Amino acid sequence: MGLKAWQKALFPLRSVGAVVRLFEAELRQPEPDLVLLSLVLGFVEHFLAVNRVLPTNVPGISFEARPGPEPHTLAYFPVAELSIVAALYARFTAQIRGAVDLSLYPRPDGLSSRDLVKKVSDVIWNSLSRSYFKDRAHIQSLFSFIT
């Protein structure tokens, strides 16, 4: 499993509009890919909220300049490249699949049980380093968790 061809075709995400289009496409699906949405939203949030200066030392990260809200200014949007999002997606899914035996959580009606959801959340919380525990309440996206 991994990203589908139609999902990959939406990348790179160069603007808020592109992120909105991804969310709209996912939310029209019977089972939206919440991992993908959380990673993308976390990526954008991280580079818009955490960095007040454009980082030049992060390999593979670029910013798209757009006209800013005020005349003669530019606003910079972090470009979410497929290669970066796909790598984070693969890392997260490998970590969860390596720790959760799905055969122990049958899905006869196709829905995940409360026990499976709890197991996945336990895997996430238990894999945080001790330094993260003080920030546990602030980990809002899988991007924050996986990076």
Q: What is the pLDDT of residues 64-109, one digit of tens each?
A: 667 766 777 776 788 899 999 999 999 989 988 999 998 898 887 8
- Between CA 20 and CA 60 the distance in angstroms is 22
Q: Is 116 helix (H, G, I), strand (E, B) or coil?
A: helix
Domain that holds residue 107: 5-146
Q: Is residue 114 within a helix (H) or strand (E), and if so which, with residue range?
A: helix 114-126
For residue 85, the model assigns a pLDDT of 94
Alpha-carbon distances of 34 from 3, 88, 146, rounded to whole Å = 12, 13, 14
Distance (Å, rounded) from C-alpha 37 to C-alpha 141? 9
Q: Looking up tokens 């959380």, which residue turns up?
A: 38
The answer to whether 107 and 38 have CB atoms below 8 angstroms apart is: no
The mean-pLDDT minimum among 33-37, 58-62, 75-79, 88-92 falls in 58-62
Write down the pTM of the prediction. Answer: 0.76
The count of domains in the chain is 1
User: Among 11, 31, 30, which Cα is nearest to 22's?
Assistant: 11
Higher pLDDT, 83 or 137: 83
Q: How many CB atoms lie within 10 A of CB 64?
A: 15
